[in-house]
């Protein structure tokens, strides 16, 4: 569908009737190109820039990454390439990567903790991947955290300070078009646009663009429109104002058009006023979601006890076995409880068989020979959603007592490629674990508590009946 031209929205009689919703949402790419070839006029650009900047100056949210200034604790060190621009760039970078993961409110906490630990790029460059993963725990997409660390190390090793323009920023691991545009415009005032989901929504509505916003050609055109609008004197503020509008007023489901500073320039609003069948939320078109892949895994929380009476009381003498995931792929380099992929749904017997095989091969943990089982129970299951995978996780608890010394047992294992460690309960609680691993641990803890209270209730009942029998 073509967007409505500027002259058409001026007069009611000149507006074309929009195509039905179905038809709009499945426009061919060719049509989509024509759809947005219609760029902003000079008058529109001038009006939108002025209105948005004025609105932003009075309404911007107070967010920690917007007030990066010199502090007493961390003085600006120009000679180390840590001037205000660099500090700002670092803050924008960290916050933008975090904002790609979750909501602003959640990011604020993570951001503040991150900056307390690594206030500058140089501090971050000295961190270990393990520390970074711990700090990132719960945000998901750990690859992005790893890129932040690798990028910081690369910039510091380069010795030329923070890259200041988009073309140089794009050479840093993990920095793509959007983050490069945000850093360059906000921290170094390069006149470049940014396009994220919020910007796409605002532009799609301003221009009544109904093409699929995920289509590559369409995305390119959104960048062209955003580049037209960016203010040459205040590029960073303008880009933030556009994103801020999308985040606060021009929201996906319930836009606040009556408070919008650019409502006079909004074609979607004009069209929706004339035709009740057309909703503002029809723009941008909903893209069809990719089908998620179903995967299945069995997780075994292996608790190694030094005591036979573990279940009944003190657990301080036990440790948990953690395995490090491979350095590539999903959740690369992160710690988890021993797990095996199952290929398809599997009954308990098969799950245990696969798990036994893994434990025996990797650690010589063999219930027949090297350990005695104090408890082995199926704890439950849950589904963990990744962007493209629905992972069904079966959880079991295995508490064992080793027959040999633990170091002998593990040093003789076959799985030389498996990196592992044993941690006690206290260490486990403070470790930065992925939300999936944390969920497994919580399930197991709840299971043990329930079991304990059932056991104590049964014991009380036995004692009471003994007493009443003897009286
Ligand atoms: S008028 Fe409404 S739909 Fe248009 S840009 Fe403003 S908030 Fe978004």
Exposure string of 35-68, with b = 16+ CB inside 10 Å and e = fewer, is bbebebeeebbebbbebbbebbeeeeeebebeeb
Helix (H, G, I), strand (E, B) or coil at 217: helix
What residue owns the CA closest to ligand 1's atom 4?
266
What's the fold here for domain 6-282? Answer: Endonuclease III; domain 1 (1.10.340)
Q: Spot the catalytic one: 96, 244, 354, 396.
A: 96
DSSP string, 232-287: SS-HHHHHHHHHHHHHHTS-SS---GGG-TTGGG-HHHHHHHH-TT--GGG-SPPP
User: Which residues make Cβ contacts (< 8 Å) with residue 86, sequence separation at least 6?
Assistant: 120, 121, 161, 162, 187
Q: What is the DSSP letter of 406?
A: H
What digits encode the pLDDT tens for the residues 239-262?
999 999 999 999 999 999 999 999
Is pLDDT larger for residue 205 or for residue 140?
Answer: 205
Around Cβ 161, how many Cβ atoms within 10 Å?
17
Q: Rounded to whole angstroms, how far apart are CA atoms 196 and 466?
A: 71
- Express as a percent the part of the chain with pLDDT over 70: 81
pLDDT score at 368: 74
Q: What are phi and psi of 335, to 5 degrees?
A: -85, 145
What residue owns the CA closest to ligand 1's atom 8?
250
Active site residue 96: yes
Q: CATH for 293-461?
A: 3.90.79.10
Helix (H, G, I), strand (E, B) or coil at 212: coil
CA of 261 to the centre of ligand 1 (A): 8
Around Cβ 166, how many Cβ atoms within 10 Å?
20
Query: Region 71-79: what's the mean pLDDT?
Result: 47
Which H helix or E strand runs over 71?
Answer: none
- Express as a percent the part of the chain with pLDDT over 90: 52
Q: Is 266 in the pocket of ligand 1 (CB under 6 A)?
A: yes
CA of 256 to the centre of ligand 1 (A): 7
Q: Rounded to whole angstroms, how far apart are CA atoms 210 and 172?
A: 34
| Domain spans of the chain, in order of start | 6-282, 293-461
Query: Model pTM greater than 0.95?
Result: no
What digits encode the pLDDT tens for the residues 124-149?
999 998 899 889 988 888 889 999 99
Q: What is the DSSP letter of 142?
A: H
State which ligand 1 atom lies nearest to the alpha carbon of 255: 7
Tracing tokens 């007592």 back to the chain, one arrives at 401
CA of 178 to the centre of ligand 1 (A): 22
DSSP string, 417-450: T--EEEEEHHHHHHS---HHHHHHHHHHHHHHHH
């Amino acid at each position: 569908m073509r967007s409505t031209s500027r002259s058409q929205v001026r007069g009611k009689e000149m507006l074309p009737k929009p195509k039905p919703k179905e038809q709009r949402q499945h426009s061919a790419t060719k049509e989509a190109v024509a759809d947005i070839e219609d760029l902003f006029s000079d008058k529109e650009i001038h009006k939108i820039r002025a209105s948005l900047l004025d609105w932003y100056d009075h309404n911007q949210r107070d967010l920690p990454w917007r007030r990066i200034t010199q502090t007493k604790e961390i003085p600006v060190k120009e000679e180390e390439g840590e001037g205000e621009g660099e500090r700002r760039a670092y803050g924008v970078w960290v916050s933008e990567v975090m904002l790609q993961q979750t909501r602003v409110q959640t990011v604020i906490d993570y951001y503040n903790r991150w900056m307390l630990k690594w206030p500058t790029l140089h501090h971050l460059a000295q961190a270990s991947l393990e520390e970074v993963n711990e700090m990132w725990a719960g945000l998901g997409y750990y690859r992005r955290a790893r890129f932040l660390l690798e990028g910081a190390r690369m910039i510091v090793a380069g010795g030329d300070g923070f890259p200041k323009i988009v073309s140089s920023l794009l050479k840093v691991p993990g920095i793509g078009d959007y983050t490069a545009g945000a850093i360059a415009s906000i921290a170094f005032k390069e006149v470049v646009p940014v396009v994220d989901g919020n910007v796409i929504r605002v532009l799609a509505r301003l221009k009544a663009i109904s093409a699929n916003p995920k289509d590559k050609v369409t995305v390119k055109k959104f960048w062209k429109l955003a580049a037209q609008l960016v203010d040459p004197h205040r590029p960073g503020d303008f880009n933030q104002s556009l994103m801020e509008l999308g985040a606060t007023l021009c929201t996906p489901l319930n836009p606040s058009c009556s408070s919008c500073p650019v409502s006079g320039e909004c074609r979607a609003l004009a069209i929706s006023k004339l035709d009740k069948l057309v909703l503002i939320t029809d723009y941008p078109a909903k893209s069809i979601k990719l089908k998620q892949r179903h995967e299945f895994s069995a997780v075994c929380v292996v608790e190694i006890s030094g005591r036979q009476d573990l279940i009944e009381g003190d657990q301080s003498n036990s440790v948990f076995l953690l395995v490090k995931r491979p350095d590539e792929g999903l959740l690369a380099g992160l710690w988890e409880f021993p797990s095996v992929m199952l290929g398809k749904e599997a009954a308990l017997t098969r799950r245990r068989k696969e798990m036994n095989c893994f434990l025996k091969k990797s650690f010589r943990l063999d219930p027949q020979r090297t350990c005695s089982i104090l408890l082995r129970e199926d704890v439950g299951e849950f589904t963990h959603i990744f962007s493209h995978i629905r992972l069904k996780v079966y959880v079991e608890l295995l508490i064992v007592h080793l027959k040999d010394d633990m170091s002998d047992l593990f040093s003789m294992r076959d799985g030389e490629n498996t990196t592992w460690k044993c941690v006690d309960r206290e260490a486990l609680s403070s470790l930065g674990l992925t939300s999936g691993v944390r969920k497994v641990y919580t399930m197991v803890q709840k299971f043990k508590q329930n079991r304990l209270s059932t056991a104590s209730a049964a014991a009380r009942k036995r004692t009471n009946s003994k007493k009443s029998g003897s009286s």
